[in-house]
Amino acid sequence: MNILAVGAHWDDIELGCSLTLKKLKDKGHRILSVVVCGSNYGENATEGMAEDEALRCGLNAFQLIGVEYIPTTKEPNSQLTYNKKIMQLLESVANKYKIDTVFTHWFGDVNTDHQTVWKISRTAFRNVRNFLMYQSNAYDDHVNFFKPNVFFSFNNKEYSLKETLLSQYVTEWAQRQARWKREIFERERYWGFLSGNEYAEGFQISKLVDFII
């Protein structure tokens, strides 16, 4: 299969589906990625990561997974809106690389960039056979809840790669390590319990057609 992971920001893919991508890569599938927005955030334009730092960190992580990165012009962080230009860009990626499966953000995410990437994705990838949604950070409004119904499971040794991948983002890891271990690692330990292993990454299915890994 040709598999595409789409993230609103650098580190979203690593948070939400990186180990699953690694497992699929190890099974011989081709893995590609697109990151839509830049990594500066907040009122101060210097908050977050400079794009050259984010690119360097992200490429390091993608190399560890075996992901082919597709360069794109980054949209401003926290300002993404649905637009035809990005939709057609993602659609062209799907057509050019004959994408069979897409991993993208979950529709209920209250981060506006994440939610908009989903909105764009559902149109751009309408003809892709398999459409799976991931949760990166645990952003919800306590009305819409992420309900994973397919899991990729990992033992403790396999899961240790997650910390290695996230720690490639040196600045973010220094600031968010404790939070991510509680928010992401504990969540995926629970999903592992649900799926009969130590850890798991969970996904909500939008569409699944003959998906065999």
CATH number at 115 reads 3.40.50.10320
pLDDT bracket for residue 142 (50, 70, 90): confident
For residue 44, pLDDT over 70 is answered with no
Which stretches within 27-69 are classed as H helix?
Answer: 51-65
- How large is the average pLDDT for residues 8-13? 96
CA distances 20 to 49, 59, 86, 143, Å, are 25, 17, 25, 27
For residue 96, pLDDT over 90 is answered with yes
Lowest mean pLDDT, pick from 59-68, 133-142, 157-166: 133-142
Average pLDDT, the chain: 94
Question: Residue 170 sits in which domain range?
Answer: 2-207
Domain total for the chain? 1
For residue 108, pLDDT over 60 is answered with yes
Determine what percent of the chain is predicted with pLDDT higher than 90.
87
The Cα–Cα gap between 14 and 136 comes to: 8
Q: Is the Cα torsion angle 154, 68, 204, 170 positive or negative in sign?
A: positive
pLDDT bracket for residue 3 (50, 70, 90): very high
Q: Is the Cα torsion angle 103, 104, 107, 109 positive or negative in sign?
A: positive
- 212 in a domain, yes or no? no
The Cα–Cα gap between 67 and 33 comes to: 7
pLDDT bracket for residue 39 (50, 70, 90): confident
pLDDT of 67 reads 98
